[in-house]
A and B are shown apart, each in its own frame.
Chain A
């Protein structure tokens, strides 16, 4: 039986730029940064969130050929990857203001959606990220769903 989700991954186009964003702006911490030669194993995570980490993976050889990497880069830059990340926060509006001050690009400001107040942003490459301040109803299991 599966026990937990430990590593998930998203594609980034430049790992140094990704570090600047995910660590320098969003406040994540580096879990691993290991040069393997064929790839740079670079993972980040939310401080205090146990072993869960996000692999910031650069598309390219030898994992995929240049044509495949170009296809991935096109999808990322058009915002069409499924590599969404969803974080939680204790105070959505405050976190939003802090990140705006750091120059983070938001797609949607804090919005009450029943299950919580959340908002959406993009990383420098086009990946979509959301964070939410979950409502008491959601946390207690009493949230019955939202309408479209």
Chain B
């Protein structure tokens, strides 16, 4: 791998971090491509090649991971959680959540149990996979 490729990795990682940081906001491909200093089309291809999933899928998993936390940790209404993590419709949230987690948000809330480790690290593992 050349230094140019390493530099590209780092820039695309920086863009992925930007998604992580502002996960509740709409996916802004032009801004992300700007962070990575590449064209929009090149950004989506490079992101997928680097991380094995599209920016959109990464954002969905990030939102669902946060929703899982809020569903389990709080008594807040599911619609509130849906909107807080960035979905604009309850239908899309429920469909996406169920597709990724394998059960509905309310079903998940019914059995989620505490884990005895700092979930700041565990969240990368708890974020439902799109690879398996």
Q: Which A residues have a C-beta under 8 Å from some C-beta of B?
A: 13, 70-71, 73-74, 77-79, 84, 86, 105-109, 111, 113-115, 118, 120, 122, 125-126, 130, 132, 144-148
Contact = CB atoms under 8 A, between A and B. Distances in A.
Given A147-B112, A148-B112, A148-B123, A107 B73 contact: no
A148 B1 contact: no
Given A73-B1, A78-B51, A147-B69, A130 B120 contact: yes
Contacts of A108: 20-21, 120
Interface stretch (B7-15, B53-61, B77-85, B92-100): B7-15
Contacts of B121: 84, 86, 130
The majority secondary structure among interface residues of chain B is: helix
Interface string B1-29: 10001110110011011001100000000
B108 to A, nearest CB: 9
Nearest to A146: B119
**DSSP class of A's interface residues: helix, strand, loop or mixed?**
mixed
A79 B16 CA distance: 10
Contacts of B122: 148
Contact of A106 (B21, B118, B123): B21
Interface of B: 1, 5-7, 9-10, 13-14, 16-17, 20-21, 50-51, 65, 68-69, 72-73, 112-123, 126
A108 B17 CA distance: 8
Given A74-B1, A79-B16, A114-B73, 7 more contacts: A13-B6, A79-B13, A86-B121, A108-B120, A120-B120, A122-B17, A132-B120
Instruction: Give the most central of B17, B65, B68: most A CB within 10 Å.
Output: B17
Contacts of A13: 6
A78 B21 contact: no
Contacts of A84: 121
A107 B118 CA distance: 17
Contacts of A86: 118, 121
Nearest to B3: A73
Contacts of B69: 146-148
Q: What 5 A-B pairs come out closest when comparing CB atoms?
A: A147-B72, A145-B114, A77-B9, A148-B126, A145-B116
Given A84-B121, A107-B17, A132-B120, A147 B10 contact: no
